[in-house]
Chains A and B, each alone.
Chain A
Amino acid sequence: MASEFTMRVWRGDLSGGEFKDYRVEAQEGMVVLDVIHTIQATQAPDLAVRWNCKAGKCGSCSAEINGKPRLLCMTRMNLFEPGETITISPIKTFPLLRDLVTDVSFNYEKAKKIPALKLKAKEADGTRRMYQDDVDRVQEFHKCIECFLCQDVCHVIRDHEDNKPEFAGPRSFVRLASLEMHPLDEEDRREFLKGDAGLGYCNITKCCTEVCPEGIHITDNAIIPLKERVVDAYYDPVVWLMNKLTGK
């Protein structure tokens, strides 16, 4: 059941690089990462690729396959026709370290700036009570495996390097949504969202949602609800008037 493919893999670093072709045989059930490993073991031992779990749980092996941001370990070879040439390139938004490995420290820097969780006081009996009805919504955001494919595909930073300082990116918004909607959190992050996080840069073109391997509805469930919350605080004269009247 083996079939042969040509893998066009980007080889290079910041100083330059090119696509190199490797002829590989893929066995039944193989994923693209298996094929990359085969190339490493037999043809290019120094081919750099970042990976950990090979089960779609850690989000390390992000790359672009035929131009589409995907996890190498969750893309099966039977998506392609035998004999086809498959192009594998590093994720584009972040600076290349080597071959398929990029420097994703941007995302970790953004994470540091997010205002932390601040819980309300405990119940009178010393416990915390939260209900599944409230937790459900936030648990979707906690599914994030930090593969940063959403950050990669987002044109705000993918195509506009100068926006990087002003824009936190979809991954950060998912995290912010999980904090903002936490049933016991009492921190208000709307000013941060509007200002430092640059929520207004998002024009909701939904590519983040399209590429999310965990199927998180990033745009509909995280970003847009956050935009609406920012509207509550800054762009809604009725809410403003109500708050004035009720003295909130």
Chain B
Amino acid sequence: MANDKYETHEYDVIVIGAGGAGLRAAIEASAAGVKTALICKSLLGKAHTVMAEGGIAAALRNVYQEDNWKVHFRDTMRGGKMLNNWRMAQLHAQEAPDRVLELEEWGALFDRTKDGRILQRDFGGHRYARLAHVGDRTGLEMIRTLQQHAVHKGIDVYMECNIQRLLKDGDRVCGAFGYWRESGKFVTFKSKATVLATGGVGKAWKFTSNSWEYTGDGTTLAADAGADLIDMEMIQFHPTGMVWPNSVRGILVTEGVRGDGGTLRNSEGERFMFNYITDYFRAETAETEEEADAWYEDKTNNRRTPDLLPRDEVARAINAEVKAGRGSPHGGVLLDIASRRSAEYIARRLPSMHHQFKELADVDITKEPMEVGPTCHYIMGGVRVEADTAATTVPGLYAAGEVAAGLHGANRLGGNSLSDLLVFGRRAGLYAAQYAQDLEGHPSPATDQIEQCAQELLAPFNNDGGENPYSVHMALQDCMQNLVGIIRAESELKKAQTEIASLKERLARVTVEGHRQYNPGWNLALDLQSLLTVAEATTMGALERKESRGGHTREDHPGPDPDKYGKINLVLRRKDGEFSLSAEPLPEMPDDLKELFEEGR
């Protein structure tokens, strides 16, 4: 029986995380008629989804009739360097349009075409203009729409509640245990099915576009509950983050800047991306500036600008330019839209970028170029899920959104994230609800499980080690930034492993001051458990994958290894706190889909 010592709630389905995926999952589960709760670490509507800027990728065919799910599927797989779970990529491409139209039914107002339909914009790696958008604040529109829809549906929302452990009844996940940030008091949720939608891990790196919540909670909760993680080494460094001033370094500059005509230049004024077109994309990429510029207007007769190559390619190119001494004054490159589009156009298409640079960097992007450089943005790897149902390898546990892995392979295309949240958020909610409905009785966690969690969570107060959680966090961020960054090498990865091990020891000595009520020092000490788990998993995967592919670049293994690593997922399992790693073959793509890749351009 559950421990009555702590506040306890009982639900059919609980959803942990209230970004796009969590909200969409909760809406679906609730619509299926099961008692649903949505639990989030921040206030409702503040999740990292609000930061998404450019748009939602979906083959709506409002701008290009030639587009369809197969083209979107192909773009996604090629962008992911074929490491994707093909079935997820297929479902995603097929269902994304319906999910976007559904948002419109719920009140979202996308930018319009002349004939009153949803306007779509160009983005890296997408063959056609495909991203439904609202200026450069699409994520805000999406989360607000979902939030309001969920509120009107009467779904119970628990805000500022940090889930720290998943509870188990035998093999099954049967709930979650955590604490209220407001009071520091513990709370138990008992559930038949649990959906993880906790987002990513970016706060393990120093320069990141991610918000404080991105501490890898869900990844760690799942691993601790016995679920498989895959491809944790696949981290996307977005090519364009702010680089100056230092305090805002890493904040995202949307790919929409390039989609709407912006171009990258080095300190010599050269559009250097033309020098970084890899063979893989040569056939579909413009070779001259004239063709690249003409492509914006006429996509049928011109090939796409190399400024819009997939993110991994562009990030590496920027990195190389800076290393070669052709960087901007603060160690980035220049992103220029001012000289290429009118001030009025820029202000209308990119209002929040305009505002962001003006307020934070004193730069008027309608007059001057922006300084940009790579920033840790997204993890393609994460919790392994079944494509159709979003079920993890543990019964009763589902995962959707950034915390789940598979759809994006080795590299995510811009705009595929928001559609991922909708497509797989819905599926996770749907199948979690079904699972809950089919389950007889209500599974229940053992009392000692809860008591043990409670003891562990309070440890930092009783510790006299004197270690400062903020210092440990900063040391971890430096370690990951410098040693497990955009370009990796065996020696550095091994050094990172040693450092992570010593940071784990330091974490055991962390002492927090004060009481449990809204105590950020304590909260960080607990988040550090997840951050270190993620850091460890990523480093392990990165050391094992001896090739360069997508979000994983090895200086000592510069090319892809299609025969070995191109055919496997690296699977991580955690037992008693220790990870073990194995390689498992990718799911086999059916022949009719394989043909899409043999047709060439």
Contacts and interface: CB of A to CB of B under 8 A. Distances in A.
B44 A49 contact: no
B344 to A, nearest CB: 14
B117 A108 contact: no
Interface string B153-187: 00001010000000000000000000000100000
B314 interface: no
A46 B112 contact: no
Given A30-B247, A104-B43, A58 B211 contact: yes
B51 A46 contact: no
Contacts of A175: 148
Interface in B37-64: 42-48, 50-51
A27 B144 CA distance: 35
Contacts, number: 158
Interface string B349-362: 00010011001110
Given A46-B513, A60-B46, A135 B112 contact: yes
A131 B572 CA distance: 50
A98 interface: yes
Contact of A112 (B140, B151, B247): B151
Interface string B503-515: 0000000001111
A76 interface: yes
B322 interface: no
A111 interface: yes
A131 B51 contact: no
A56 interface: yes
B433 to A, nearest CB: 22
A45 B211 contact: no
A31 B46 contact: no
Contacts of B244: 29
A28 B245 contact: yes
B416 to A, nearest CB: 20
Interface in B259-304: none
Contact of A27 (B135, B140, B247): B247
Interface string A77-115: 000000000000000000001110101100010011000
B520 A29 contact: no
A131 B112 CA distance: 6
Secondary structure at the A interface, as helix, strand, loop or mixed, is loop
Contacts of B212: 51-52, 54
Interface stretch (A137-145, A218-226, A231-239, A240-248): A137-145
A203 interface: no
B252 to A, nearest CB: 8
Nearest to A30: B247
A139 B42 contact: no
B580 interface: no
Nearest to A51: B212
Interface stretch (A122-130, A152-160, A191-199, A204-212): A122-130
A130 B104 CA distance: 10
A57 B514 contact: no
Contacts of A59: 46
A143 B212 CA distance: 22
A47 B470 CA distance: 13
Contact of B43 (A46, A60, A139): A60
Interface of B: 42-48, 50-51, 101, 104-107, 109, 111-112, 115-117, 134-135, 137, 140-141, 144, 148, 151-152, 157, 159, 182, 211-213, 244-248, 251-252, 352, 355-356, 359-361, 468-471, 474, 512-515, 517-522
